[in-house]
Homo-oligomer: A and B are copies of this chain.
Amino acid sequence: MTRPPARSDRRSDRRSRSGRRDRPTPPPEVENTAELPMHPPGALVEGGLRVFALGGISEIGRNMTVLEYDGRLLVVDCGVLFPAEDSPGVDLILPDFRAIEDRLDDIDALVLTHGHEDHIGAVPFLLRQKPDLLVVGSRFTLALVAAKCKEHRLTPHLLEVAEGARLRHGRWDCEYFAVNHSIPDALAVAVRTPAGLLLHTGDIKLDQLPLDGRLTDLAGFSRLGDEGVDMFLVDSTNADVPGFVTPEREIGPVIEGVFHRASSRIIVACFASHVHRVQQVLDAAAKHGRRVCLVGRSMVRNMGIAGELELLQIPDGLLVDLDEAMTLPDDQLVLVSTGSQGEPLSALSRMARGDHRSVRIRPEDTIILASSLIPGNETAVFGVINGLTRLGATVIHQGNAKVHVSGHSPAGELLFLYNAVRPSNVMPVHGEWRHLRASGRLAVQTGVPEDRVVLAENGVVVDLVDGIASISGRVEVGRVYVDGLSVGDIGESTLSDRLTLGEGGFIQISVAVDARTGRAVAPPTVSGRGFSDDPKALDVVLPLIEDELSRTENEGITDPHRIAQAVRRVVGKWVGETYRRRPMIVPTVIAV
């Protein structure tokens, strides 16, 4: 894996040696998938199993994998991706459904491995296109999906499953396995088809002392390994991290220690779905005679569900609402809040800026960020930490105490998984390229032949035929943006304009000309936004515009579009030479 074959003929050598024949049109031979051009795969060969991702491979988020066998489809997960700085103003990014849009009726079921947003967040958007889709998942997962669908005014068709269950969804023979992750009730799914057995881990880790005693079913995976796993889709998010995850239950004593030392108010921020983390906070609070106030809509909703399902044990009278919380002595209160990623509108960010409605941070306060720092959020999170620290509070976070552990298996645990499953073919999922390659290397180290590791980013189609997985083509998988109420009307052109405007603002020139003569009938006006704080900055360009308008008039140009082009050129040249900046130049010429 470290050094993929340098010559494409090496790969085809292996292929011929492996004895496959009668393949549909093969894709162009390439050194690796990064160079694979768009090449729609041919029809799936009879008896073959097809796998491709509409999201979640070559990125972390919007996980969605499609399986095809004998004309029927099974979808695993349907999540969202939270946008980074390259997608300004966007709320969410969805998987690209285009490749299955014409075949929605072929889908027998949508299987959800667990309830995190990057696995269930896009379900309502898929249900809008196919409201009667069968949605399969564990109890907690489905409760979260139901709550989400309710907000979208959708009533999904749900089928609850639990670990140990083996049942058919249409053409698909599915078996479910308990998986340990940073949310309760996560599942892996094994799919048996005549083409072979496929195991998809979902998100996974191997905490050997899980708080709820629900271990990842490594024994079950081993039995599958005995039976023979032909295709292993494995969570590779932490594949480049060495070692093992610290047990979640080691966080409890750390949190307790902080409670023990804190003499005044405590605020804990963590993910709104991390039931076990919140449980440890509730336990520490109960032990230290503190009441707990949950803050943030998703925190309140999710913990309510977890409480109802008895996944969260809430001692009677422990919880208080914010109004009551504000009447309690500081040393009898814990706030448990969202906002651990520095989201600017969250309660915690408001507190750090000193503009929260009811909570004013004081030097006696202790704040615990019991969460990871998701890459890309550093500036925001450190901004919150600095804001709280500036106000004198003590801030405990991942960087100075063991108050968070990851939910994904690092390299050491992945070796256990590969060795238990002993797969014939491996397709790393859930990860950026650096993670996929690292996972592939681990597979090879455990004995998977190099050419049986398929690094297939979103859209790359992998067919399992005669027990051998290989790439058969590539479908287009773009990014589908949600901004406000609208889905999909924002694309690369709008985002590119936003980036330009965000970097340099714009200069607007308005001109009214006589439709017949092209002569300006009023003095042109020029104004800028996001260009300069100096109100007179643009005055000097007005004479240049007037000169240009005289020129176009003298040349008999009356077409508003051509006049606008001329104005744009003059102003663009001036601003480039004078300021060395590139604002958007927006001329409007009205013919009257």
Contact = CB atoms under 8 A, between A and B. Distances in A.
Interface of A: 2-4, 6, 31-32, 34-35, 58, 84-86, 88-89, 240, 362-364, 375-376, 378-379, 382, 385-387, 389-392, 394-395, 399-400, 432-434, 436-437, 457, 483-486, 489-495, 497-506, 508, 510-512, 521-522, 525, 529-534, 537, 578-581, 584, 586, 588, 590-592
B505 A497 contact: yes
Contacts of A35: 391
14 contacts: A3-B394, A4-B392, A34-B390, A58-B386, A86-B379, A89-B505, A378-B378, A389-B437, A490-B532, A491-B533, A493-B533, A501-B501, A512-B590, A525-B590
Given A34-B390, A364-B3, A379-B376, A529 B489 contact: no
Given A375-B379, A501-B498, A590-B510, A390 B433 contact: yes
Given A31-B392, A511-B590, 15 more contacts: A4-B392, A6-B362, A32-B392, A88-B503, A89-B503, A89-B530, A375-B382, A385-B434, A387-B433, A486-B581, A493-B533, A494-B505, A500-B530, A501-B505, A525-B588
Given A3-B364, A532-B494, A592-B512, A386 B88 contact: no
Contacts of A89: 502-505, 530, 581
Contact of A501 (B32, B434, B506): B506
B34 A580 contact: no
Given A491-B533, A497-B530, A522 B592 contact: yes
B386 A579 contact: no
B363 A6 contact: yes
B392 A486 contact: no
A534 B493 CA distance: 10
A87 to B, nearest CB: 11
Nearest to A581: B484
Given A4-B363, A580-B484, A84 B379 contact: yes
A477 B382 CA distance: 21
A32 B363 contact: yes
Contact of A58 (B390, B432, B434, B494): B390
B586 A529 contact: yes
Nearest to A500: B530
B382 A432 contact: yes
Nearest to A580: B484
Contacts of A493: 533
A579 B387 CA distance: 33
Contacts of A394: 2-3
Contacts of A389: 432-434, 436-437
Contact of A399 (B240, B379, B489, B503): B240
A9 to B, nearest CB: 14
Interface centre among A362, A502, A512 (most CB of B within 10 A): A502
B2 A508 contact: no
Contacts of A525: 588, 590
Nearest to A59: B386
B363 A529 contact: no
A374 to B, nearest CB: 9
A503 B494 contact: no
